[in-house]
Amino acid sequence: MADKIIIDTDPGQDDAFAILLALASPELDVLGITAVAGNVPLALTQKNARQICELAGRSDIPVYAGSAQPMAIQLVTAEHVHGATGLDGADLPDPIMPLQDQHAVEFIIETLLREEAGTVTLCPLGPLTNIGKALTKAPEIAARIKQIVLMGGGLFEGGNITPAAEFNIFVDPQAATVVFASGVPIVMMPLDVTHKVRTTRTRVERIRALGGDFGTVAAGWLDYFERFDEQKYGTDGGPLHDPNVIAYLLRPEIYGGRHCNVEIETESELTKGMTVVDWWGVSGRAANALFIRDVDDEAFFALLTERLGVLAAQRPAPQLRRLGA
């Protein structure tokens, strides 16, 4: 039986690849996609999530809008990385599939209370606002969550939005505090691993070569998304962060890490949103997360390209038909 997941997301080109990878994978049963404000405001992330579902030919996936603002501070967005739409690099028409009426936080709570305990994995790809709110409103869900596999944080790589903080944790450090204190098994994909997963020219061209409009859209997103980090880091390609969450569920054996205590800095102006990771075990605090640091990046891109190839070959998406029209 497929593993049940909820994807909580702020698309984002790299979020798009995570969603496409999940939707292309029969091992995973995507119960719903919940949108959160992050890379761009909520009005765009919920719309982008629906565009991505339609691109995959999966307008049956329910998409819910969640939090427009972080739990306690003002939203910070990242148009300088992702473009004004959040999905710059490909020109998709507006989605036709509806947005669900239910609030994302309610959907998360209701789903966890309905499904058998220990069977649903949460996959946060953006700020942790929706998850933090759900755990605060209904603390009894914590014991029912199988695990939370999230993209966020960093240690040896430092931060990407400030010298100390990674974007997803920086945008809502209060929500991150709730999540890391929840007692739910957590696997984190920090910058330390995602910076090893780079969209080199060869890898992007393999994705473009999947063909047709699908290849054009996917490679267009990568071309746009990597320009910022290529310039910043001086590398061939930029890090492809969020799909690591889904790839971990599919191929955990290609990742390596260590169980550590992770606390979130919420006060300091200088280091707000920093993940304080006790990699060396000096604090005496109990481990609360599996901190992933290593990956077989060739295996990751082989998996991603193979699964995107399945979607490209199906080419069922009304989006694509309209693009080609």
> Look-up: residue for tokens 């091992």?
27
CA distances from 66 to 45, 73, 296 (A): 10, 16, 34
- CA 287 to centroid of chain Cα atoms: 23
- CA 223 to centroid of chain Cα atoms: 19
Determine if 15 is a binding residue for Ca ion (CB under 5 A).
Answer: yes
Query: What 3-state class would DSSP assign to 218?
Result: helix
Using the rule CB under 5 A, which residue among 12, 173, 238, 273 binds Ca ion?
12
Using the rule CB under 6 A, which residue among 17, 31, 37, 39 binds ligand BDR?
39
Query: What 3-state class would DSSP assign to 190?
Result: coil
Decide: 282 and 182 in contact? Cβ < 8 Å.
Answer: no
Binding mask 219-248 for Ca ion (x = CB under 5 A): -----------------------x------
Stretch near ligand BDR under the rule CB under 6 A, chosen from 90-98, 108-116, 162-170, 290-298: 162-170
Using the rule CB under 5 A, which residue among 125, 141, 218, 250 binds Ca ion?
125
At a CB cut-off of 8 Å and minimum separation 6, what does 308 contact? 17, 20, 21, 24, 207, 210, 214, 218
213 binds, among Ca ion, ligand BDR, none (CB under 5 to 8 A by kind): none
241 is catalytic: yes
CB count within 10 Å of CB 100 equals 17
Size of the site for ligand BDR (CB under 6 A): 15
Determine if 226 is a binding residue for ligand BDR (CB under 6 A).
Answer: no
List the interface residues with ligand BDR, window 58-87 (CB under 6 A).
78, 81
What is the helix, strand, coil percentage profile of the chain, to 5?
40, 15, 40
Determine if 170 is a binding residue for ligand BDR (CB under 6 A).
Answer: no
Stretch near ligand BDR under the rule CB under 6 A, chosen from 12-20, 27-35, 108-116, 197-205: 12-20
Determine if 125 is a binding residue for ligand BDR (CB under 6 A).
Answer: yes
Write out the catalytic residue numbers: 241
Residues at the contact surface with Ca ion, assessed by CB under 5 A: 10, 12, 15, 125-126, 242
